[in-house]
Structure 1
Amino acid sequence: MRIRSLALVPLCGLLAACISVGPDYQTPDPAVPPSWNAPATIGPAALAGWWRQFNDPALNALIATALEGAPDLLSAQAKLREARARTGVAAAARLPSVGNTINARRSESAGSGVAADSYSIGFDASWEIDLFGGTRRSIEAAEATAAAAEAGVHDAQVSLAAEVARTYLDLRTQQTRLMIARDNLASLVASDELVGWRHQAGLVTELDKVQSASTLEQARARIPPLETTLEADLNALAVLTGRPRAEIAARVAAPAAMPATPPALGLSLPTETIRQRADLRSAERRLAAATANIGVATAALYPSLKLTGSIGVAALSTDSLLRPEAATSSLLAGLTTPIFEGGRLRRNIEIQSALQEQALIAYEKSVAQALAEVENALVALANTRRRLASLRSAAESAQLAEKLASYRYAAGLIDYSTLQDTQRTALSVLDAQASAQGDEASALVQLYKSLGGGFSADETASR
């Protein structure tokens, strides 16, 4: 059917801009407590670049390296590029498609021996009018998915920085524990020599000698597991940063003291934490995409209108193609209405509705988990600091007791069992103190991560 008037085109465009079937998205309002249950100092939270508060150049350099080329982050960035490209694909469906055709044909009637040539050049265009908003809902879903992917990049940055910091701090903890174990071994070697001299002089029995040898080997046996953990941390840092192990080892293999943890942390309110967490923003955007997909499925129930048109020239010879009478044009409108699909379209709506319900449940669960993570991190940090304060006092006393016991044993005033118990206590307390220092730092890292900290909005957008 040839339509000479184009009045239908703006009318269809007007209709396409007015109707969008399916539910309109409403941002969920999860139940969030007004304050934290665990003791917390409410105030401005310095979350951007939180690892710099440890004042450790090696840690800062490792995180900077990881953010430049870590595999997990590169994967998240690739997903974002994919999502943005899919948004462009969805948006392109709103526009007409135009193509060019060039045809040359020769036909011959059977038995006549007469050949006829025909030539044509033309431009074809088609446009499906978005009468009921299916395309607009598809674009809405694609944009929400892209926003979820962008939040996913932010979440990958937060998780990566936290994991690098946690692994680095554990490495420093193991180095400290290894130093304590080696110092203790050196002390026990000296004690074993003293026991040997006293045994040769007949001042102690064979029991003291074999006890000393057993204690010495037990101390030596403590070192290999610590070295194994240390190597595992080095390998983990290499994986996290995407750099060769030798390069990472050159940066951090030399023993260094555990960096001091910041004494206090300003904490935002729970509602602000929900907005800060990138994983929750990603979950909320996935919910928005699932809601829009219901509209896409619903629009399939309604009629679709497609306009097709062409303009060109057609003639029996190439010389005639430029003549006015060779010009051709057409404009067609087709309306397609689904009548019987065996329930497929409505079942698809049910599927999308169920997926939207799952996305809502997942979002609400993520909110609850996020709040629990902050609460747990606050409790862990407070209790670890209490434990560390007690261990520091205990370590001072244990070291003094070990020194006094060594003097008294050398003077023959106590037996070896008393010296042995004192040495074991000192080693145990010093090792526990070093572990507690690492636990304090790890708890602080976990708190920063649970708060969603690490990067400002400008930093995230620029990466």
Structure 2
Amino acid sequence: MRYRIAWIAGTALSLSACAAGPDYRPPQAAALGVPATFSAGVATPVSDADLASWWTRLNDPTLSALIDRAVADNLDILAAQARLRQARESLAQTNAAFLPQVSGSASGGKNYRSQAGGTRVDGNGNVISTGASNWSSSYSGSASASWQIDLFGELARSSEAARADLAASGYDLANVRMTLIAELVTNYVQARLGQEQLRIARTSQQVQQDNYNIANWRLQAGLVSSLDENQARAQLAQTSASIPQIEANLKASLNRIAVLTGQAPGEATRALETPAPIPVAPVQIATGIPADTLRQRPDVRSTERALAAATARIGVAQAQLYPSLGISGNIGTTSNAFKDLFSLITGGVFANVAQTIFDGGRLASQVRAQRAATDGAFAAYKKSVLTALEDVENAMASLSSARERKAQFTIAYDASNSAAIIARSQYQAGLVDFQTLSTTETTLLNARNSLAAARSDEVLAIAQLYNALGGGWQSMDNRPDEQRR
């Protein structure tokens, strides 16, 4: 009997190597429409080290500390980590199907039996029953085992799909981290821009207050009409009106930073209310080649793993068309005395073969449905690749635009600042009217704000570019590529 069982098991294991369904092969870059180079710029190699902590190139310790806090406490990251743990347990549950399932039971107790009989009277006239009653013991134990032989790879393909799902969950966690860092940098830069805009507005407000005082004095002296005084007051009021909106935008950025770092708005960002300059953008940015996006972008790798899982599930559905083989066995014993419980043991081993003969085409339809799902997964994967390339191209265009605007606004600021100084002195000397002074002051205010916005746009474009390149997750714990195999 044992030789027969060994032969059945050996045959089953050799057949299980023949897994149903297609073997997955990652699509090549050509099939995904990936070009050789980006349309703008020269392809420069980019390493994981360059991408892992790209924000440190902004040389802002406060920002780096915020990112460390966010990575540790952000609630979206904690939720993604929980989903990753859940996927890991799903893989463990799937792999458990490869092993025999064993269960056992035992029982013991006493039985009471009473038998009715006649009666008699003793010498004292007492009635005595002649019936019989007794107690008996009963003990039993049993165990059973079953094992589903993976003849055509249904379990192997299920495990393959679960491993791909686990890797996809890991990349989803990486994508949450990558997106979080980019969003935090964006809000931090916007907060510093708001502080710079407040400084500019309040400086302009002070200058315009002085202009209003001069215009009012000249009106009182009869040197000018009330037109100058009204124009000065209107200009001052417009600048003063812009300050509350800037403050509100600044507060919104600070509140968002607090939530991103897993804290309640308010006290958590009190230290950030102290004004600090906008981070300085690095000059050189490595972009690599488009094919790098298949490796660097965690959202792209997640959709690739989803395609692998969908392909494996074709094999799961296809294996259900073929016969299934199961081996089961049981062993048991029973006795009226515990010491004799193992005196007599009974058991058996059985093999079971099952094959669906007619199901109205249900199983075949499941195979076709899973093939359709795989086609959809491939389309989603290709779309994610093309979207990643689009993000990189857009980010490079935004960075180029911001740098060109910063250069031009620097020229505009220098020229308008000189013009405002000249106009202010000439107005005080009565050589020009207030309209000329107002125009130059407005031009200077716009140039200051535009230059500050261009500087922040340059940093934001760099954040957008690094996010598009897939930076920010390469140094995280439990990297998904360690789970891929």
Q: TM-score, normalised by structure 1?
A: 0.94
Q: Distance in 2 between matches of 1:457 and 1:59?
A: 18
1:67 partner amino acid: V
Cα deviation, residue 117, structure 1: 6.5
CA distance in 2 between counterparts of 1:281 and 1:10 reads: 38
Task: Show the counterpart of 1:32.
Answer: 34
Q: Which amino acid aligns with 1:87?
A: L
Letter paired with 1:461? R
Check if 1:406 corresponds to 2:424.
yes
1:124 aligned to which of 144, 147, 152: 144
Q: Aligned-pair distance for 1:450? A: 0.4
1:15 corresponds in structure 2 to 14
The structure having more radius of gyration, on CA atoms, is 2
Q: 1:142 aligns with which of 141, 145, 162?
A: 162
The offset of 1:460, in angstroms, is 5.5
TM-superposed deviation, 1:106: 8.0
Name the counterpart of 1:268: 288
Amino acid in structure 2 at the alignment position of 1:69: D
- Equivalent position of 1:158 in the other structure: 178
How many positions carry a matched residue from both structures? Answer: 460
Structure 1 equivalent of residue 237 of structure 2 = 217
Write the distance in 2 (CA, Å) between the matches of 1:456 and 1:3: 53
Q: Report if aligned partners of 1:12, 1:129 keep a CA contact under 8 Å in 2.
A: no
Contact persistence 1:87–1:143 (CA under 8 A):
yes
Cα deviation, 1:281-319, whole Å, max 9, x if unaligned, reads 111000000111111111111111111112232224434
The AA in structure 2 aligned to 1:88 is A
Give how far 1:80 is off.
0.8
Deviation at 1:388, TM superposition (A): 0.6
Structure 2 matches for 1:180-259, cutoff 5 A? 180-259=200-279
Of residues 3-12 and 297-306 in structure 1, the stretch that sits farther from structure 2 once superposed is 3-12
- In the alignment, what sits opposite 1:101? 105
Distance 1:460 1:42, change over 3 A: farther
Moved more, 165-174 or 8-17: 8-17
> What is residue 428 of structure 1 aligned with on the other side?
446
Asked if structure 1 preserves the Cα contact closer than 8 Å seen for 2:257 and 2:269, the reply is: no
- Tell me if the contact between 2:416 and 2:444 (Cα under 8 Å) persists in the aligned partners: yes
CA distance in 2, matches of 1:373, 1:8: 58
Contact conserved, 2:44 with 2:288, CA < 8 A, in 1? Answer: yes
Find the aligned partners of 2:328 and 2:139 in 1 and give their Cα distance.
21
The answer to whether the Cα contact below 8 Å between 1:178 and 1:223 also exists between their aligned partners in 2 is yes
Q: Which residue of 1 aligns with 2:45?
A: 43
Deviation, structure 1 residue 43: 3.2
In 2, Cα distance between the equivalents of 1:108 and 1:352?
A: 61
Structure 1, residues 13-37: CA drift from partner, whole Å, max 9, x if none? 4234322111111111122111110
Alignment correspondent of 1:445: 463
Q: CA deviation at 1:351?
A: 2.0
**Could you report, residue by residue, the CA deviation over 1:194-248 in whole angstroms, capped at 9, with x for unpaired residues?**
1110000001101111111111111111111111110110111011110233343
Deviations 1:112-161 (A, max 9, x none): 99998653212211111111110000000000000111111211111111
Contact 1:3 1:332 in 2 (8 A): no
Alpha-carbon distance, 1:459 to partner: 5.0
Checking the alignment, whether the CA contact within 8 Å between 1:177 and 1:434 is kept in structure 2 is yes
Q: Distance in 2 between matches of 1:154 and 1:330?
A: 52
> Cα offset for 1:103?
3.3
Residue aligning to 2:78: 74
Q: Which residue in the other structure is 1:86 paired with?
A: 90
* Distance in 2 of aligned mates of 1:44 and 1:171: 30
Distance 1:210 1:460, change over 3 A: farther
**Which residue is equivalent to 1:357?**
375
Amino acid at match of 2:330: S
Cα deviation per residue 1:322-380 (whole Å; 9 max; x = unaligned)? 32xx1112111111111222222122222211111111000001101101111111111
Q: Could you tell me which residue of structure 1 aligns to residue 130 of structure 2?
A: none
Question: In 2, distance between residues paired with 1:421 and 1:134?
Answer: 78
Q: Which residue of 1 aligns with 2:361?
A: 343
Q: Does the 8 A contact of 1:102 with 1:122 survive in 2?
A: yes
Identity over aligned pairs, percent: 38
